[in-house]
Amino acid sequence: DIDHLNLRVQKELVEWLNWLKADIGFDGWRFDFAKGYSADVAKIYIDRSEPSFAVAEIWTSLAYGGDGKPDLNQDQHRQELVNWVDKVGGKGPATTFDFTTKGILNVAVEGELWRLRGTDGKAPGMIGWWPAKAVTFVDNHDTGSTQHMWPFPSDRVMQGYAYILTHPGTPCIFYDHFFDWGLKEEIDRLVSVRTRHGIHSESKLQIIEADADLYLAEIDGKVIVKLGPRYDVGNLIPGGFKVAAHGNDYAVW
In a domain, 134, yes or no: yes
**Domain total in the chain:** 1
pLDDT tens track for 55-100: 999 999 999 999 999 999 999 999 999 999 999 999 999 999 999 9
* Residue 8 domain-assigned (yes or no): no
Element (H, E) at 89: helix 75-89
Count of CB atoms situated within 10 Å of the CB of 132: 14
If you average pLDDT over residues 125-136, what whole number do you get?
98
Residue 247 inside a domain? The answer is no
* Catalytic machinery residues: 32, 57
38: how many CB neighbours lie within 10 A of its CB? 15
Residue 195, in any domain of the structure? yes
* Inter-CA distances, 61 with 1, 100, 163, 246, Å: 24, 9, 22, 32
pLDDT in tens, 223-240: 999 999 999 998 999 889
E-state strands within the chain = 28-31, 53-56, 94-97, 134-137, 170-172, 205-210, 215-219, 223-227, 245-247, 250-252
Question: Which residue in 163, 162, 169 sits closest to 189, CA to CA?
Answer: 162
- CA pair distance 64, 68, nearest whole angstrom: 6
**Residue 161 counted as domain residue:** yes
191 found inside a domain: yes
Task: Identify the helix (H) or strand (E) that includes residue 85.
Answer: helix 75-89
198 found inside a domain: yes
Task: Tell me, yes or no, whether 213 lies in a domain.
Answer: no
Band (1; pLDDT cuts 50, 70, 90):
confident
187 phi and psi angles, rounded to 5 deg: -65, -40
**The amino acid at 78:** R
CATH of the domain at 187: 3.20.20.80
Phi, psi torsion values for 65, nearest 5 degrees: -90, -175
Residue ranges making up the domain that contains 178: 58-203
Residues 6+ apart with CB under 8 A from 218: 205, 206, 208, 224
Structure pTM?
A: 0.97
Residue 221: is its pLDDT beyond 90? yes
d(CA 155, CA 174): 15
Q: What confidence tens digit (pLDDT) does each residue in 141-160 have?
A: 999 998 999 999 999 999 99
